[in-house]
Amino acid sequence: MIVRVRGRALPDGEYVDLYADGDRWTTDPVPGAELVAEGWLLPGLVDSHTHPGAEAPGDPMDEEILRADLHRHVDAGVTMIRSPGLPGEPPEWFGADPELPRAVHAGPWIAQHGQFFDGWGRRATHAELPVLAAAQALRTGWAKIIADWSVGDEAVPPDVMTAVVEAVHAVGGRVAVHSQHAAGGDAAVAAGVDSVEHGMWLDAGHLPDMAARGTALTPTLSVFQSSLAAARERENSPRKRWFVGGAEAHPALVVAAAEAGVTILAGTDSRPHGGISAEIRALAGTGLRPHDALAAGSWAAREYLGLPGLVPGAPADAVVYAEDPRTDLTQLEHPVAVILRGARVR
């Protein structure tokens, strides 16, 4: 079937009539095309921080679980994912299966010795980090560094992080950095990484520099909010104070980042997969305009990852809703149709 969709296309709300010519949108009528949906059109949702493929931290990559996780993303309207860290090198069909989301990934995480989940990622000395990161980025375009981990751990030093960024950028790649402590955020921003993942306890004074350099923030807000109530009930400890204090301050950081001009990306981080609508609603709950929260999970994220929106020549992805989802973000859970690579997959 040759797919045709029409309606008001976000972000501008202009009326469009689009035909899928293979995996590209065109406004030129394509013989035999069938109108499959009409309404409000998004260029396809994006989950910019997701780790599919394993049931629990430390478990090896499981292809059956990976497929199931990715199908949940599609059911939620996600047509593109970025996975800054995977349980292992993914199979060849990852990102290429016509029924599953497009994907970019950073391969397994890269961490300092003694940090991160046992069984996952690669451990490296400071001298080895730039070499490992550059080799990974050369293969897949991205490398993911764990800048900091548990309370009391030493973060990756700024000069080492700078060497990582220089090595990765030299091969044309990009660097994503896990940071949930102030020192890790300091090192990441000073080095000019491409995205800060989580960013809990990030010094708001860094935000103008991030905006100027094009460093994105993926706050994974909903996963912190879902754990906050239980964390408040735990016995007092340094870890509790770290998590509760950081999670409580995180919404204000997101708002300040957006006001400073930092690109905000919507990412869900943890299981269960397919929760992008909850993350977009969480972003809106901080005080972001629904338009901007939706951008973080759609057109702005696609632009950051190099994909244009609903214009001729763009990849033929779209999610169609009966009404403007900006007026009621719960509509994200009820798409009329999901179009992926020019075919209706839901």
pLDDT tens track for 121-166: 999 999 999 999 999 999 999 999 999 999 999 999 999 999 999 9
For 207-336, where are the E strands, in sequence order? Answer: 216-218, 318-321
- Name the β-bridge partners of 179: 198
> Among the CATH numbers 3.30.70.980, 1.10.20.10, 3.20.20.140, 3.40.718.10, which is that of 46-304?
3.20.20.140
Contact 72, 274 (CB under 8 A): yes
pLDDT score, position 323: 96
Q: Which amino acid is at 330?
A: T
Closest CA to 338 of 17, 30, 5, 1: 5
Instruction: For Cα atoms 337, 343, 346, give the angle at the middle one, nearest 5 degrees.
Output: 30
- DSSP 8-state assignment for residue 309: -
Per-residue tokens: 243 = 């998590």
Give the C-alpha separation, 19 to 28, whole Å: 7
Average the pLDDT over 170-188 and give the result: 98
Give the C-alpha separation, 10 to 15, whole Å: 9
Closest CA to 200 of 162, 157, 245, 255: 245
For 345, left (φ over 0), alpha (ψ -120 to 50), or beta?
Answer: alpha
Average the pLDDT over 58-78 and give the result: 97
Burial of 338 per CB tally in 10 Å (0-12, 13-18, 19+)? buried
Q: How many CA atoms lie within 13 A of 222 on its CB side?
A: 25
pLDDT tens track for 285-315: 999 999 999 999 999 999 999 999 999 999 9
pLDDT tens track for 77-112: 999 999 999 999 999 999 999 999 999 999 999 999
pLDDT score, position 76: 97
pLDDT tens track for 215-265: 999 999 999 999 999 999 999 999 999 999 999 999 999 999 999 999 999
pLDDT score, position 2: 95
CATH class of the structural domain 2-42+310-344? mainly beta
pLDDT score, position 63: 97
pLDDT tens track for 13-50: 999 999 999 999 999 999 999 999 999 999 999 999 99
Does the fold of domain 46-304 match that of domain 2-42+310-344? no
Give the C-alpha separation, 236 to 66, whole Å: 37
- Name the β-bridge partners of 83: 105
Contact 321, 277 (CB under 8 A): no
**274 confidence band (pLDDT: 50, 70, 90):** very high
Calculate the average pLDDT of the chain.
Answer: 97
- Measured CA distances, 83 to 43, 142, 221 (Å): 19, 9, 17
pLDDT tens track for 189-221: 999 999 999 999 999 999 999 999 999 999 999
Q: Please state the domain extents for the chain.
A: 2-42+310-344, 46-304
pLDDT score, position 133: 98
Q: Coil, helix or strand for 43?
A: coil
Average the pLDDT over 270-277 and give the result: 95
